[in-house]
Amino acid sequence: MPDGVQLSRRTLLKASAVAGGGFALAATFPMAGRATAVSGPADLNAFITIRPDNTITIVGKNPEIGQGIKTMLPMLIAEELDADWDSVSVKQGMTDAAKYGPQLAGGSFATPMNWMPMRQAGAAARAMLIAAAAQRWGVDAASLATEPGRVVQPGSSRSATFGELASDAAMMDVPDPASLKLKDQADFRIIGRAIGGVDSPKIVRGEPIFGVDTQLDGMVYAAFERSPVFGATLKSADLAAAKAQAGVIDAFKVAANPQASLVEGVAVIASNWWLANKARASLSPQWDNGEWETHSTKAYAQAAKDAWASGKSDEVFAEKGDIDATFAEADRVLEAEYSYPFLAHVAMEPMNCTALMHEDGTMEMWAPSQTPQGGQQAVAGYLGVEPSQVKVHITRMGGGFGRRLNNDYMVQVAAIAKEMPGTPVQLIWSREDDLRSDFYRPAGWHKMRAAVNADGKLTGWADHFVTFDLGDGAFNPAAMDATEFPAKYVDNLKFEQTKMATAVPMGALRAPRSNALSFVMQSFLDEVAHATGKDLPTLMLELTDGVEAEPETQGFVGPQPGFSAPRLQAVTRKVMQMAKWGQPVADGHALGFGFYYSHMGYFAEVVEASLDARGNPVVHNVWTAGDVGSQIINPFGALNQVEGSIIDGIGQAIQLAVEIEGGAAKQSNFHNYPLPRMPMTPKIHVEWVLSDNAPTGLGEPALPPVIPALTNALFALTGKRVRSLPIDPQVFA
């Protein structure tokens, strides 16, 4: 089986004794193209620490947003160490690119990036414990084995706990990671076991572990007033009036810094956040809203219609065959206009960050960030100091969903804290701030065309995508790939796009691009299926019939398997079987299908839906078949991610939209951005299709297919096609 990303030869392992006895293994996981050795003693940089009392501490290096990584990465280490999981405690690592390599909660990347390196680190520590036992007993290391938490010699009574061996193990040679034999899947004791989150006991007791729970001596609170209109500048504000309010310590202007995503506004500092936030009302700010005030979702939608009517686009980004001749000769031509709205992330813990500018000019931060290294660099860049001058503690986060990939709030609090050296400042955004200052999931408009020949075969596929010009960032959430399914499986293709200028900030929302494109592509393919007397899963199987898996490619995380039609086929067939596809369902109910491949995961889903008395969609059952490789590492966390993704997607389909009006977001809180609530929860049936591939992540890929599965079910039920999200019940009237 291909194992995916390995511990690099530049990965440095270093062992040392721990003061008071024990063993510490430091591991350096270099960034691509960079290798910096751990400096100083290993115990201070310890990744794995084993103490004489048998307790084991493992560092969780990545930020925890609820995806379960603080539990899962240590499970991988503990497995190959052959630790007793009950003796393991997990410590959150600091932000340190040189030591840990990428520390990122995003892209469902952590599983493929760490599956082998974490196991190899654990196996190295195990080999050193075995070597220590071999030396102590004067026997061949090859005659020894491990049981959870101890080294044993099968066939003899020799046995020692890891704790007893730890101090000696620190003196052993550190093995070459490549020489280590890892466990066979059948021998896993921890991987594959349903293990609860390591922080969960603290959470149910209300212990302070989230970013916003940070408390420091002498800490003050900051609220930030900005214009709801994107791109606005501040003309004036009554700072004196704010300063006169109860509890207010200071109020001052903060200048914009577009490179650091810092907007212009006023910081209000008080002894209590509620007092700071309340004092904003007395600022009476005057804004210059500039050219962006006229921008609105309605205007963007009109511009899309105008672009389609003109027949002209900015750019053709995928083309093959002879698309014009194909449509001219087609037996049937289908045309449809699809659209989806801006969406917000609304993590339950509103954006916040705590910062302390020390008297020596260094900055210390407690940051709920999905990219703390990016935040560290952004703050260092803003302050004009080296990243090493910015110390960033990684806190647990009350959700991320992609919002905390942007570190604007880190720079904002740094801008405030630098004005008050020696005083810790906690910046908190209100829910209104959070909804109106997001990096939104981009809205998008697609004019789709499909050509079908006399044999009912899909011969042509075209899209004029109207989207936004977001520049050339590292990841563009408003872009579409030239390979977007079914591009590879039709002979004649044309993808073109028109890009609109905007000041609305946009970013990645869980399963970026995929969460929108799945709806458009799988819905329009469902239209093709119906037009040719088939159903969508049958069409998907036909389109990919006999197509072999593509060769390995070089992805963000390293070598990764190419797209595999057989894996698509396997999950499709599996979910058809699970949902009894094609068999009768309850009166007034119907089934719909959706497939999507994203973040290296293959998911096929079937939704059973009906309409309630007021014509609103109700989801009763969701069947899901997923292929994320050879092994589900933690079934507890894995299933939780899938269940959450499905409900998240249903909420987006049925009731969520951010509307831009007057250059600002109209939605402001949960009354007009109504997240799913408990009564909406359907029955969710999940099965894993294991395949011969290294495991990949689950934070995202289960979400995209549920949206078209729902809208396709509603078409099967009513004969009315949903082509715009969120679903407008008027479509079915």
Q: Using CB under 8 A as the criterion, which residues of the chain lie in contact with another protein when the complex forms?
A: 65-68, 194, 196-197, 199-201, 203-208, 210, 212-213, 215, 221, 246-247, 271-275, 346-350, 396-401, 428, 430-431, 636-637, 640-641, 643-644, 646-648, 651, 669-671, 675-681, 684
DSSP string computed for 504-552: S-B---SSTTHHHHHHHHHHHHHHHHHHTT--HHHHHHHHTTTPPPPPP
Q: How far is the CB of 595 from another protein (least distance, A)?
A: 22
655 contact partners, CB below 8 Å, separation of at least 6? 674, 676, 726
Give the burial string for 462-480 (b: 16+ CB within 10 Å, else e).
bbbbbbbebeeeeebbbbb
Residue placing its CB nearer to another protein in the complex, 154 or 679:
679
Dist. CA 523–CA 708, nearest whole Å: 6
Residue placing its CB nearer to another protein in the complex, 570 or 698:
698
Residue placing its CB nearer to another protein in the complex, 223 or 414:
223
Residue placing its CB nearer to another protein in the complex, 163 or 400:
400
Identify the H or E element spanning 91. strand 88-92
φ/ψ bin of 288: left (φ > 0), alpha (ψ from -120 to 50), beta (otherwise): beta
Residue placing its CB nearer to another protein in the complex, 66 or 537:
66
Residue placing its CB nearer to another protein in the complex, 611 or 675:
675
Residue placing its CB nearer to another protein in the complex, 199 or 463:
199
Residue placing its CB nearer to another protein in the complex, 357 or 656:
656
Q: Are 419 and 362 in contact (CB under 8 A)?
A: no
309 contact partners, CB below 8 Å, separation of at least 6? none
Residue placing its CB nearer to another protein in the complex, 181 or 671:
671
Dist. CA 219–CA 353, nearest whole Å: 12
Strands 248-254 and 664-665: unpaired
Residue placing its CB nearer to another protein in the complex, 178 or 203:
203
Q: How far is the CB of 208 from another protein (least distance, A)?
A: 5
Q: How far is the CB of 692 from another protein (least distance, A)?
A: 28
What does the chain come to in residues? 733
Q: How far is the CB of 90 from another protein (least distance, A)?
A: 15
**Rounded (5°) CA angle 156-160-164:** 160
Nearest to 706 by CA among 657, 656, 647, 658: 647
Identify the H or E element spanning 415. helix 408-417
Q: How far is the CB of 273 from another protein (least distance, A)?
A: 6
Sheet holding 315-320, edge to edge: 315-320, 492-500, 458-468, 444-452, 332-340
Q: How far is the CB of 247 from another protein (least distance, A)?
A: 8
CA 24 to chain centre: 32
Residue placing its CB nearer to another protein in the complex, 28 or 652:
652
CA distances from 102 to 382, 400, 421, 472 (A): 21, 17, 30, 22
| φ, ψ dihedrals at 302, nearest 5° | -65, -40
Instruction: Kindly calculate the radius of gyration of the chain based on its CA atoms and give it in whole angstroms.
Output: 28
Q: How far is the CB of 318 from another protein (least distance, A)?
A: 35
Q: How far is the CB of 438 from another protein (least distance, A)?
A: 14
Q: How far is the CB of 406 from another protein (least distance, A)?
A: 17
Q: How far is the CB of 48 from another protein (least distance, A)?
A: 25
- What is the SS3 assignment for 75? helix
Dist. CA 25–CA 41, nearest whole Å: 10
Dist. CA 221–CA 424, nearest whole Å: 9
Residue placing its CB nearer to another protein in the complex, 126 or 345:
345
Q: How is residue 410 written in tokens?
A: 């880190």
Residue placing its CB nearer to another protein in the complex, 525 or 658:
658
Residue placing its CB nearer to another protein in the complex, 334 or 416:
416
Q: How far is the CB of 374 from another protein (least distance, A)?
A: 20
Residue placing its CB nearer to another protein in the complex, 100 or 401:
401
Q: How far is the CB of 209 from another protein (least distance, A)?
A: 8
Q: How far is the CB of 633 from another protein (least distance, A)?
A: 14
Residue placing its CB nearer to another protein in the complex, 614 or 671:
671
Give the burial string for 676-700 (b: 16+ CB within 10 Å, else e).
beeeeebebebebbebebbbbbbbb
Dist. CA 23–CA 49, nearest whole Å: 6
- Give bridge partners of residue 223 from the DSSP assignment: 268
Q: How far is the CB of 627 from another protein (least distance, A)?
A: 22
Dist. CA 725–CA 326, nearest whole Å: 30
Q: How far is the CB of 441 from another protein (least distance, A)?
A: 15
- What is the SS3 assignment for 220? strand
Q: How far is the CB of 265 from another protein (least distance, A)?
A: 19
Q: Are 162 and 56 in contact (CB under 8 A)?
A: yes
Question: 533: burial class by Cβ within 10 Å (0-12, 13-18, 19+)?
Answer: exposed
